[in-house]
Amino acid sequence: MEDWFLYLIKKSIFYSFPIVMTVAFLESLALVGLFLPGILFMAALGTLIGNGTLNFYPAWIAGFIGCICGDSISYYLGWKFKKYLNNFNLLKRNKKTLCKIQSTLNKYTVFTILIGKFVGPTRPLVPMVCGMLNISLKKFFSSSIFGCILWPPVYFFPGIIAGIAINTIKIKNNPYFKIFLIISAILIWLILWKIWKILKKNKY
């Protein structure tokens, strides 16, 4: 699927930015984002940005639009179908996670919406839970917009590094190249996870 994904983007620049927008939209869409390997797709797009196939700024804008649309629809779904969602089997199986999100949103609304954007399992859930809790649109969008501005470049970043490195022949032919990429990606996510843990610890 990823090979087809990259082929389609390289084949026509006309499709590239709608695809970026669609990936960002589905990644942010309530529940749907739980089943998509969003980080892989965004990293693949970042690789194309790094090697010059895609322009960074249009891709960033497309990612932002898709992200904010996904958040908006997720919020609406949570607000409109709150009673149904509370009885939804998938959410029942993840009741503990849902309760934690609700608890954190009630105490630290803005912070949770912003940080939740960068944590895989919570990204497609936080906007929906905001709607279920009837959090004000002003408070929701003030954080969501900022998060959607930051989210695409953060997820593009590992791929951008890879794309730049691929253009360097010596690095490309180095047997340790893949190890370097894996370590870079792991370090980025460990830093984000550590920040989350520190802030969570300080909360208590």
Taking the CA atoms of residue 49, residue 54, residue 55 and residue 60 in that order, the dihedral angle to the nearest 10 degrees is -70
What's 81's DSSP letter?
S
- Please state, in angstroms and rounded to a whole number, the distance separating the CA atoms of residues 119 and 21: 19
**CB neighbourhood size of 86 (10 A):** 12
| pLDDT at res. 163 | 77
Q: Which domain holds residue 33?
A: 2-203
The residues near 150 (Cβ < 8 Å, ≥ 6 apart) are 117, 118
pLDDT along the chain (204 residues), means of 10: 54 71 86 74 80 83 92 89 74 73 82 80 83 87 88 84 66 55 65 63 51
The residues near 180 (Cβ < 8 Å, ≥ 6 apart) are 165, 171, 174
Beta strands in the chain (DSSP E): none
| pLDDT at res. 66 | 92
| pLDDT at res. 8 | 56
Residue by residue, DSSP assigns 96-107 as HHHHHHHHHHHH
| pLDDT at res. 79 | 87
| pLDDT at res. 170 | 47
| pLDDT at res. 204 | 43
CB 143 within 8 A of CB 105: no
| pLDDT at res. 72 | 92
Q: What's the number of domains the chain is made of?
A: 1
| pLDDT at res. 177 | 54
Burial of 59 (0-12, 13-18, 19+ CB in 10 A): buried
| pLDDT at res. 41 | 77
**Chain-centroid distance, C-alpha 97:** 18
